[in-house]
Amino acid sequence: MFCFIALIVFAILGIFSASHRALAKEAFQCVFRRVTLRACNTGFKEKMQAKILGKLINRSSRVAKFVSHRFELLAWIFFILSIVSTVWVAKGVYDFYVYGNCNGLNSTGFCAFDPKGNNSAVSTISTRPCSLKPPTESDLTLKNVNVSLFPTKNTQAKNKVVLIGCYLCDYTRKAYPLIKKFVTENNVQYTFAHYPTKSASSYLTAYVDCAYQQNKDKFWEWNDKMFASSKEDLFKPEYVQSLLGKEGYDVGKIKACVNSQATKTLVNKQIDQLVGTGVYGTPTLFINGKAFVGPKPYRVYQFGLKPFLFF
Amino acid sequence: MDLQHIRQDFPLLRDNKIVYFDSACQSLRSQSVIDKIVEYYTDYPACGGRSMHKLAARVTEEVDAARATIAKFLNAKKKEEIIFTRNTTEGINLIANSLGFKSGDIVVTSDKEHNSNLIPWQVLAEKLGIKHLIVKSLPDNTFDLAAFETLLKKNKVKLVSIVQTSNLDGVTNPIEQIINVAHQHQALVSIDAAQSAPHEKIDVQKLDADFVVFSGHKMLGPSGTGILYGKQKLLDNLQPFLVGGDTVASSTYTEHEFLPVPEKFEAGLQDYAGIIGLAEAVRYLQKVGLEKIAQQEEELNEYLTTELLKLPKVKILGPEDAKQRGGIVSFYVEKVDVHQIALMLSEQGIMVRSGQHCVHSWFNAHQLKGSVRVSFYFYNTKEEVDRFVRELKKIMNVLL
Ligand SMILES: Cc1ncc(COP(=O)(O)O)c(C=O)c1O
């Protein structure tokens, strides 16, 4: 039995180290009784036991004796721990592949494959009303959001994607090219909700609404240019207006729209709805209702459209 | 014997880190032997006997000198009585295949033979129908001379092929008496001297031995070197074993003319470096002195035996009296796997052998799984024995 346990444990460790691969091979032979056919070859179990005890004896005879007398039991415990940890590692690898983080979608816990946490970094929303409880991933929902209040395109598509982000947020800016690629390459309904994380960028929401209302087609191009602009420029309303002008918008009308009561009411309504989503950082991308917080690798967004991979 | 000085001659012993108690399997090599091998490969790495150039002449000279050194070591009448082999096993196989055995011929061995001196006879029994008779040891595992005599009286024995010192328990058989008795009954005697040649003087003329075989690697020589001594008139009449290049004076497409001994038995290109190194090993042993070597081993054996007998669970194979066991202490600990002891000792830097030491037949007959074998050579010390005993006690405490 020991050989069998050792075979599995060393086979797993063998993935990472050559010396363990050799031991796995020996354990394999031991399992299939090949070892006993060779006269001068000793039993694998004895060999492993001697190696371990030989090391332990130098530290503490008592510990060595303890291990020696419970070797099989300890081997089993070690075996179970190895299996459990392997399942965890496998899950981590799967999670990283599918979610971009070893600890699951949107987790900010440490992940060896993404040690700096780039895939989960967000710009935290400081304009959000204080709440007693820190927000969590499970609170994120689009339940209270009426997408028709926000710029939306391709409304016939089955798959629905909602990006909550802001022009001045570092991580939305980082994620934007990939998200753009994602919504272009896939047949999805795409909604953009501008959610300013800092009050300095709050004024931009009204421009989004007004630009969208004035010309739905030109809006998306202007939107791309906004994300491509420098942060310094985006702090200046004149810059934003000039960009609208360049796109062929009637800037005078836009200005009037931005200052209108109706727009203010709309913006407040939008912010209310966005607060209701529970979003705590940008970018947050909802793919068919499932939230992806932070700039994820492209494959993760793609997997988002294949629900069977998500569990 | 200046042990400290001697130990400096052995690279592995210089820093006292490793305790090497497995010399019955292979001994360590002195620096002088290593240098001699390197000298061959660097200065004259050529063919002996065949080519005419200067380097080849040097090889021929050195091999010739090596043969003479070994002949002197055994007190052989002529150097031509020395045949270079790869090991003891090859020597025994040569005799088994060359002595002209036929159905019904009888070969006698002891019940403690190494597989090398057992399997060749079993194969001949199967192939040619020879009879292989075994002399059972006395209860203390020493040789039963009386039973041997009776056996020879009752049977017309062709060859007694017998181990001189057992690698199993270190017991040395009364080889002089064995030869006497055998010769009284017109039987030839072949001595497996693998475990005796490294430790005691073998005078083939005084013993009147017909054949003596041993390995170089158990007596400071390079690995894969061995010697077969045979009386010239016997060797002359033996059929060649391995044949081909270097064994014939000339050949036609249908016939050949064999060279005289020793060449007739040394087929193909030889291990020149090994042969030359082996002669250097012999010179080293002669310089230290075989008597002193035996004495040192005996002292160590007595010391270790005394210590082991204090441990109730330890059982020594063979007689308790260390004097009868040369440089070997073979033991087992009740209820403990012998390999485990050896492996754990190895973790502590102590090298011993464990298992059945290629004497499976004896272990199977005695229903024992194996033993731990400590085998000394003259370079071992009392301090090393102390270290061994200390570690063994610790291991037993952990395993029991
Ligand atoms: C008594 C005895 N005979 C024969 C042999 C075989 O020697 P080799 O393996 O060098 O042929 C040994 C080796 O341990 C031995 O101890």
Mutation for B interface: A35, A41, A57, most B CBs within 10 A: A57
pLDDT digits (tens, 9 = 90+) for B133-155: 999 999 999 999 999 999 999 99
Going from the Cα of A73 to the center of ligand 1, the distance in angstroms, rounded, reads 41
What ipTM did this prediction achieve?
0.71
Q: Say if residues A156 and A119 touch (Cβ distance below 8 Å).
A: no
Q: With pLDDT > 70 as the criterion, what percentage of chain A qualifies?
A: 89
Under an 8 A CB cutoff, do B348 and A57 touch?
A: yes
A66 touches chain B (CB under 8 A): no
Going from the Cα of B88 to the center of ligand 1, the distance in angstroms, rounded, reads 6
Q: Which are the contacts of B127, defined by CB distance < 8 A and separation ≥ 6?
A: none
What domains, with CATH codes, occur in chain A? 2-69 (no CATH), 122-294 (3.40.30.10)
Under an 8 A CB cutoff, do B343 and A64 touch?
A: no
Give the whole-angstrom CA distance, residue B215 versus residue B165: 13
Please, which pLDDT band fits residue A131 given cuts at 50, 70 and 90?
low
Question: What are the distances in angstroms from CA B321 to CA A59, A295, B299, B306, B341?
Answer: 36, 82, 12, 9, 23
Does a cis peptide bond (omega within 30 degrees of 0) precede residue B45? no
The amino acid at residue A167 is Y
Give the whole-angstrom CA distance, residue B80 versus residue B68: 8
User: How many CB atoms within 10 Å of residue A166?
Assistant: 28
- Residues in A touching B348 (Cβ below 8 Å): 54, 57-58
Query: Tell me, what's the pLDDT at A129?
Result: 55
A41 touches chain B (CB under 8 A): no
Give the whole-angstrom CA distance, residue A291 versus residue A278: 11
- State the average pLDDT for chain B: 97
Under an 8 A CB cutoff, do A46 and B394 touch?
A: no
For chain B, report the end-to-end CA distance as a whole number of angstroms. Answer: 39
Query: Tell me, what's the pLDDT at A24?
Result: 77
**Nearest residue CA, atom 15 of ligand 1?**
B194
Flag whether pLDDT at B380 surpasses 90: yes
Residue that has been written with the tokens 């240098």 in this structure: B35
Q: Output the pTM of the full model.
A: 0.76
Query: Tell me, what's the pLDDT at A40?
Result: 42
Give the whole-angstrom CA distance, residue A114 versus residue A283: 18
Please, which pLDDT band fits residue B263 given cuts at 50, 70 and 90?
very high
What domains, with CATH codes, occur in chain B? 33-287 (3.40.640.10), 290-399 (3.90.1150.10)
For residues B169-178, give the mean pLDDT: 98
3-state DSSP of chain B: CCHHHHHHCCHHHCCCCCEECECCCCCCCCHHHHHHHHHHHHHCCCCCCCCCCHHHHHHHHHHHHHHHHHHHHHCCCCHHHEEEECCHHHHHHHHHHHCCCCCCCEEEEECCCCHHHCHHHHHHHHHCCCEEEEECCCCCCCCCHHHHHHHHHHCCCCEEEEECECCCCCCECCHHHHHHHHHHCCCEEEEECCCCCCCCCCCHHHHCCCEEEEEHHHCCCCCCCEEEEECHHHHHHCCCCCCCCCCEEEECCCCEEECCCCHHHCCCCCCHHHHHHHHHHHHHHHHHCHHHHHHHHHHHHHHHHHHHHCCCCEEECCCCCHHHHCCEEEEEECCCCHHHHHHHHHHCCEECEEECCCCHHHHHHCCCCCEEEEECCCCCCHHHHHHHHHHHHHHHHHHC
The sign of the torsion formed by the CA atoms of B274, B205, B292, B69 equals: negative
Least confident among A32-46, A178-192, B134-148, B216-230: A32-46
